[in-house]
Amino acid sequence: MFETPLIERFSRVHPAAPFVFYLPILGYLGYHAFSNGIAVLPFVALVLLGVLLWSLAEYVLHRWVFHYVGPRPWQRRMHFIIHGVHHDFPQDSGRLVMPLGASIPMGVVFYILFRLIAGPVYGAPFFIGFGLGYLAYDGGHFAVHHFRMSGRIGKWLKRYHMIHHHTGVDARYGVSSPLWDYVFGTTGAEKKS
């Protein structure tokens, strides 16, 4: 995809990389929050709220950023680099999870934002939930493309995402959850006459 071997190398990532990088950080933030006196119930509530916020961020990014194709050549190239290559080569396992060079700066921005809004003790569990949602997205996305999904939920999620990829339907932007597709009416469901 890139002529420069170094840039090409950093555009690919092993699917375990986000977990190896983020899980220790999220664990440390949880330890830090509890050592600063947060109670279990607010911690759990903020983590769940963070997961919910991630699902909305995932939907917004996928629908309006990753699928935006502007009229100018540089905009079309940017779309291809960010997400178009994934639609052209959905089985490319090296480009199914976000490279750390992109996710780390975004993670830092969200962490600072949550810390500014909620403070260091309450911002941490909120970011933990957001981070766990992101990991569920990256792991789930890799799984639906490369694993034979078993069980009702796994099969349903795989089919839901494959319809986004292979039918040309301009819908089904939720990867780890269809919640916001239902809220915004982008499930691509058949309309009954």
Residue 87: predicted pLDDT = 73
44 within domain boundaries: yes
Read off the pLDDT of each residue in 149-161 and give the average, rounded to a whole number. Answer: 89
12 within domain boundaries: no
Residue of 166 and 179 predicted with greater confidence: 179
Read off the pLDDT of each residue in 2-19 and give the average, rounded to a whole number. Answer: 76
Residue 27: band (very low, low, confident or very high) from pLDDT cuts 50, 70, 90: very high
117 within domain boundaries: yes
190 within domain boundaries: no
Residue 17: predicted pLDDT = 94
Spell out a b/e string for 105-143, using b for 16 or more CB atoms within 10 Å of the CB, else e. eebeebbeebbeebeebbbbbbbbbbbbbbbbbbbbbbb
136 within domain boundaries: yes
Q: What is the pLDDT of residues 65-84, one digit of tens each?
A: 887 888 998 888 777 777 77
Residue 10: predicted pLDDT = 62
193 within domain boundaries: no
User: Phi, psi (5° rounding) for residue 56?
Assistant: -70, -45
Read off the pLDDT of each residue in 20-34 and give the average, rounded to a whole number. Answer: 97
Residue 99: predicted pLDDT = 84
189 within domain boundaries: no
- Three-class SS of 84-153: HHHHHCCCCHHHCCCCHHHHHHHHHHHHHHHHHHHHHHHHHHHHHHHHHHHHHHHHHHHHHHHCCCCHHH
| Spatial CA neighbour of 103 closest among 79, 68, 133 | 133
2 within domain boundaries: no
Q: Provide the residue range defining the domain that includes 79.
A: 19-184
Model confidence at 95: pLDDT above 80 = no
Domain count, the chain: 1
Looking at every residue in the chain, the average pLDDT score rounds to: 87
